[in-house]
Amino acid sequence: MKMHVVKILNVEDATHNVKRFVIEKPPGLTYIPGQATDVSINHPNLRDELRPFTFTSLNEWDYLEFNIKIYKDHDGITEKLAQLKTGDELVIHDVFGTIHYKGPGVFIAGGAGITPFIAIFRQLRHDGLLAGNTLLFANYNETDIILKTELKYMLGENDIDILKAPLDESVRGRIIDRDLLKTYLGKKGTYYYVCGPDPFTAAMVGYLEELGVEEGCIVIEV
């Protein structure tokens, strides 16, 4: 297993509970947009506490970027990550992941499950290939939306927020369910990219299968 000790170059808030980490990029490290790596904190008591995080940066950038959701309700690794600052060190491990772009489709994200799609959308924009892709992004309310401005800039009207409890009480809350997915079904051969908490992913895959989407057109982390 490859290990790279890297310094944090910058840490900033992306949302009220998500932090953006910019870190050194190890020489020769490459990955496909959508892939991830295991990360640990370079401290004797924490070096073996690995957690998977998805790259939101692109290969051609000279640094790595992660947008990491911080869980403050227990004394876990993300809470320790939130306490780090510029100059502190992380350990980057092997690259892995099965989510990558196969062709135009519908991206279905729940919360921090947007992270692999951020890198994919950034790459597609760079390559001029964003057309034909739609994002359904489920969150509790507007304050939870990661990179809201950038996603809207990249995808325009194809960036569709699905909010369970919108801050505007006159707007009806909604979730991604079978009926909503049915309205966004594409023609045969359309890809459906799904990422989010395990129960979310399982539910979305179940709905898609019920709607007749072929298994080979559903892209998830396995």
CA-CA-CA-CA torsion for 70, 56, 53, 217, nearest 10 degrees? 120
- CATH, residue 19: 2.40.30.10
- In this structure, are 195 and 113 located in the same domain? yes
- In this structure, are 88 and 112 located in the same domain? no
Q: Determine if the pTM surpasses 0.85.
A: yes
CA-CA-CA-CA torsion for 126, 129, 134, 140, nearest 10 degrees? -10
CB 63 within 8 A of CB 90: no
- CATH, residue 212: 3.40.50.80
Last residue of a domain, one of 52, 72, 97: 97
Strand-pair partners of 2: none
CB 115 within 8 A of CB 53: yes
Q: What values do phi and psi take at 36, rounded to 5?
A: -135, 180
State the residue range of the domain holding 215. 105-220
Specify the residue for token string 């034909």.
Answer: 132
Helix H or strand E segment including 180: helix 178-183
Specify the residue for token string 């992004």.
Answer: 137
User: For the chain, give me the number of helices (H) and strands (E)?
Assistant: 5, 11
- In this structure, are 39 and 145 located in the same domain? no
- Provide the CB-side half-sphere exposure for 98 (13 A, CA): 9
- pLDDT tens across the length of the chain (222 residues): 789 999 999 999 999 999 999 999 999 999 999 999 999 999 999 999 999 999 999 999 999 999 999 998 777 899 999 999 999 999 999 999 999 999 999 999 999 999 999 999 999 999 999 999 999 999 999 999 999 999 999 999 999 999 999 999 899 999 999 999 999 999 999 999 999 999 999 999 999 999 999 999 999 998
CA-CA-CA-CA torsion for 142, 148, 222, 179, nearest 10 degrees? 50
